[in-house]
Amino acid sequence: MSMKSTAVPYKIYLSEDEIPQSWYNVRADMKTKPAPLLNPGTGRPMSAEELGVVFCEELVEQELDDTTAYIPIPQEIRDFYKMYRPAPLVRAYCLEQKLGTPAHIYYKFEGNNTSGSHKLNSAIAQAYYAKKQGLRGVTTETGAGQWGTALSMACAYLGLDLKVFMVKVSYEQKPFRREVMRTYGAEVTPSPSMTTAVGRKILEQFPGTTGSLGCAISEAVEVATSQPGYRYVLGSVLNQVLLHQSVIGLEAKTALDKYGVRPDVIIGCAGGGSNLGGLIAPFMGEKLRGEADYRIIAVEPASCPSFTRGKFAYDFCDTGMICPLAKMYTLGSSFIPSPNHAGGLRFHGMSPTLSQLYADGLMEARAVEQTAVFEAAELFARCEGILPAPESSHAIRVAIDEALACRESGEAKDILFGLTGTGYFDLTAYQKFNDGQMSDYIPTDEDLARGFAGLPQVPGQD
């Protein structure tokens, strides 16, 4: 609801000194903290020392810190942020008009950078700490390619070596993302590959596999832990990533506060949860502290429905089962979405922080089918002039549905959603849609049962 009547411009840009000085750590305000990562061998919580084999030291500290509410952003990272931040908060006047809704729709647009998404917010932070630790390089995985692109930009800027394992289906469908990464100097390998033990094992078991994020993670972790001077970095799911992404929500809130707007509904797409976790962070903080109430909706693909049909359980983050166990909503680490699923948001699990918030009833979740998502994307592109990423379009779909509900009810709600990125590298999917060839896919209960069957045995787990 709006409390002031000041005319809101199409785009609210903050000044550079309004880029947040600190990240906000929502865990500090959570009564029930996210469950700790477990060592799959011992079943005990991972120590900082154990995590330090895989991750950079300061990132391990951030991963484990669930009490410090504000963590200062180093000046070097803030300088990099200035390249593409503050990101605009846009009032979707044209979309509102097209829908004939009394609702006010706002979106925080994170796609105005070459990685095309919000991923750069955490990429530069993780690369910075790796550099500070004196490492030679980092390894990672990428699905749709946004994270790999973002990390290659950050590593090029800091002079760090980067090895990316790219999910094979994306590597083939998105050669342009691969070339962006190469232009930024990264080494890109399709996953599963023959260059790692875990890749060879997966290829032997599933010769025709198109790959998965879980599998690419296993390969990247293996390389990071077997080569001196390397660590592994991850673009989503982890607490540290949600922490870095809080700049999205902090900026959005600062911009809305300027115009006295308090959103009634906040909507974000959710794959591993990095964008949604970042967008909602300061709002959820107010909710947790009892200072304000917001309706918060996570939107996921019906083809990979971890929130809406998954189990809240300890599970592996990777297919190769070499990573720590995380307690999260999961479809099982062997779950791979149908190849007809066009975008990202294909990770089998969900951020442990968001999972706990969802389990505690602090947010809702909704699953949407991809044809309806692309219909929303097309409508949005034609009104608002931005061709959205398929991932972001999940949030657009639900924002439109909420705005249409307002048209029925006559309510002038303030709707905020995260427009995480652009779809410039997703034109193969758009072509399918334009040609009327796009189809939907919903896994059967049997499909899901197969994934759940692989959940690990952990003391206290159902």
What does the binding site for a second copy look like in residue numbers (CB under 8 A)? 9-11, 13, 15-16, 80, 82-84, 94, 112-114, 116, 120, 153, 156-157, 175-176, 179-180, 182-185, 378, 381-387, 422, 424-425, 427, 430-431, 433-434
Nearest-approach distance from CB 417 to a second copy, in angstroms: 17
Which of 173, 333 has the CB closer to a second copy?
173
Residue 136 or 182: the one with the smaller Cβ distance to a second copy is: 182
| In the complex, minimum distance from the CB of residue 134 to a second copy, in angstroms, rounded to a whole number | 21
Per residue, the 3-state secondary structure of 280-311, as one string, reads HHHHHHHHHCCCCCCEEEEEEECCCCHHHHCE
CB of 376 to a second copy, least distance (A): 13
Q: Find the helix packing angle between 352-359 and 274-288, rounded to 10°.
A: 50
Rounded least distance, CB 157 to a second copy, Å: 7
Residue number with CB closer to a second copy (102 or 185): 185
Query: How far is CA 39 from its chain centroid?
Result: 24
Give the sign of the dihedral formed by CA 13, CA 115, CA 349, CA 242. Answer: negative
Residue indicated by tokens 């990562």: 37
CB 145 within 8 A of CB 136: no
Least separation, in Å, of the C-beta of 388 and a second copy? Answer: 9
CA 110 to CA 84: how far, in whole Å? 9
Q: Between residues 405 and 427, which has the closer beta carbon with respect to a second copy?
A: 427
459, with CB counted inside 10 A (0-12, 13-18, 19+), is exposed
Q: What are phi and psi of 77, to 5 degrees?
A: -70, -40
The least distance separating a second copy from the CB of residue 242, rounded to whole angstroms, comes to: 23
Buried b (16+ CB within 10 A) or exposed e, 167-205: bbbbbebbeebbebbeebebebbbbbbeebebbeebbee
Shortest distance in whole angstroms from residue 119 CB to a second copy: 13
Among residues 381, 386, 396, the alpha carbon closest in space to that of 434 is found at: 381
Q: In the complex with a second copy, which residue's Cβ is closer, 314 or 430?
A: 430
Nearer to a second copy, 190 or 305 (CB): 190
Minimum CB distance to a second copy smaller for 182 or for 289:
182
> Nearest approach, Cβ of 399 to a second copy (angstroms)?
17
The rounded distance, in Å, linking the Cα atoms of 332 and 319 is: 9
The residue assigned the tokens 């991932």 is 391
Distance CA 249, CA 253 (A): 6
**C-alpha dist (Å) from residue 323 to 53, 93, 98, 204, 373:** 11, 45, 47, 20, 33
Cβ 114 to a second copy shortest distance, Å: 5
Residue number, 222 or 426, with CB nearest to a second copy: 426
- Cβ distance 235 to 152 under 8 Å? no
| Token pair recorded at residue 30 | 């959570």
Closest approach, Cβ 338 to a second copy, in A, equals 22
